[in-house]
Amino acid sequence: MTDTLTIRRPDDWHLHLRDDAMLSLVAPFTAERFGRAIVMPNLVPPVTTVAAAKAYRQRILEAVGDAGPFEPLMTAYLTDTIDPEEVARGHEEGVFMACKLYPAGATTNSDAGVTDIRNIDPVLAQMAALGMPLLVHGEVVDADIDIFDREKVFLERVLAPTLERFPDLKVVLEHITTADSVEFVQAGGERLAATVTAHHLRIDRNDILVGGIKPHMYCLPVAKRARHKEALREAVASGSPKLFLGTDSAPHARPAKESGCGCAGIFSAPVGIESYAQTFDELGCLEKLEGFASLHGPRFYGLAPNEGTITLERAPFEVPARIDPEGQDLTPFHAGERLGWRLAR
């Protein structure tokens, strides 16, 4: 039985760091584990300019302090009216690594998002020419579509036609939750990949709803039936280079989660690699963790893997039930549970 596992320092290809005091609290959890992260731009107001992204990157580096080495990779928040020139300039200056598509109204702080993907055709053409990846929140928001079908319908109505119209555009379908998305991504060419969260590999909709409503298990896209979770587990266990790690760690203060209208988002940064290790161990494919966490993402983005390594050890890891209860008041994924893998210090 493997008791320690040393892998290239991993990256988190989908992360919410927030701002201000929340940023200061959560950034070190990520920086202790990951070499880089794709930082989501859904602040209030969203990150839509090069200047805003540069300033945010600086605030992140200050929040990380000496918890790193850690490099934030910044993204631009696409709106109906974003200037393609601003996106191109941000890419050329090495500030914008990618652009994020939030269908307007799909999730937290997405009100300024895109109302119809055809509105951003000029930006997509620009991105395809630059080799700049489009990161997609893949859910439709049509009122007549059941929330559990939003991802599947997005594939048919939005993603497939967009890929057809822009054959050179690189696309990451973020935080996939369905067998349909697994199939879709596997069937797509090399320019299409997906991130998989730690929680979607472990929870299904029963975990949210059976025995009482569990607000800390609620995120978007919402976890689906067990068979979809199984499809995700099988897909990562296959070692597919088209799938890589993206925690979608999305902290919200406990009162905002435990509410009559609770926020979507699971805060997984404190268990950001340990939870995946547990899952890969259960699946009997620990040897596939390094590819998923540390190699497939950089290859897709055209970056070198990180230089350093991290070591995980098979030892009990007691996940705190609450983090900073008197301050930001967060409940992490796996709160109060004992995991079987921890980061060796």
Binding site for ligand NCD (CB under 6 A): 16, 42, 107-108, 137, 219-220, 248, 250, 264-265
Residues in the chain: 345
Partner whose footprint covers residue 125, from ligand NCD, Zn ion, none (CB < 5 to 8 Å by kind): none
Cα distances from 133 to residues 5, 32, 101, 107, 124, in angstroms, run: 31, 26, 11, 21, 9
Helix 274-282 crosses helix 226-237 at what angle (to 10 degrees)?
90
The two tokens of residue 229 are 């979770």
In the complex, minimum distance from the CB of residue 332 to Zn ion, in angstroms, rounded to a whole number: 16
How far is Cα 269 from Cα 246, in angstroms, rounded to an integer? 10
23 touches 60 (CB < 8 A) = yes
Q: Which does 257 bind (CB under 5 to 8 A by kind): Zn ion, ligand NCD, none?
A: none
**Binding region for Zn ion (CB under 5 A) out of 27-35, 121-129, 197-205, 240-248:** 240-248
Q: Report the distance separating Cα 132 and Cα 113, nearest Å.
A: 19
Q: In the bound complex, what is the minimum distance in angstroms from residue 100's beta carbon to Zn ion?
A: 9
Residue numbers annotated as active site: 248
| Distance from the Cα of residue 22 to its chain's centroid | 18
**For ligand NCD, which is the closer residue by CB, 220 or 319?**
220
Rounded to whole angstroms, the Cα distance separating 86 from 130 reads 13
- Strands 4-8 and 338-343 come out as unpaired
Q: Can you tell me whether residue 305 is helix, strand or coil? A: coil
Q: Which is nearer to Zn ion, 248 or 274 (by Cβ)?
A: 248
Binding string, 66-85, against Zn ion, x = CB under 5 A? --------------------
CB of 219: closest distance to ligand NCD in angstroms? 4
* CB-nearer residue toward Zn ion: 113 or 305: 113
Of the two residues 105 and 131, which places its CB atom closer to ligand NCD in the complex?
105
Q: Residue 48 binds which entry of Zn ion, ligand NCD, none, with Cβ cut-offs from 5 to 8 Å by kind?
A: none
* Site size with Zn ion, rule: CB under 5 A: 1
Binder of Zn ion out of 12, 151, 248, 274 (CB under 5 A): 248
265 binds, among Zn ion, ligand NCD, none (CB under 5 to 8 A by kind): ligand NCD
47 versus 250: smaller Cβ distance to ligand NCD: 250
Residue 162 binds what, of Zn ion, ligand NCD, none (CB under 5 to 8 Å, by partner type)? none
| 248 versus 329: smaller Cβ distance to Zn ion | 248
Q: How far is the CB of 220 from ligand NCD (least distance, A)?
A: 4
CB of 14 to Zn ion, least distance (A): 6
Binds 274, which of ligand NCD, Zn ion, none (CB < 5 to 8 A, cut-off by type)? Answer: none
Could you tell me the two tokens for 113?
């998002």
What span, in angstroms and rounded, lies between the C-alpha atoms of 68 and 118?
40
Report if residue 32 touches Zn ion, rule: CB under 5 A: no
With CA atoms as reference, report the closest residue to 291 among 245, 247, 249, 246. 245
Angle (nearest 5°) at CA 24 between 18 and 28: 100
Smallest CA-to-CA distance from 324 within 248, 270, 276 is with 270
Q: What are phi and psi of 61, to 5 degrees?
A: -60, -40
Q: Which residues lie near Zn ion (CB under 5 A)?
A: 248
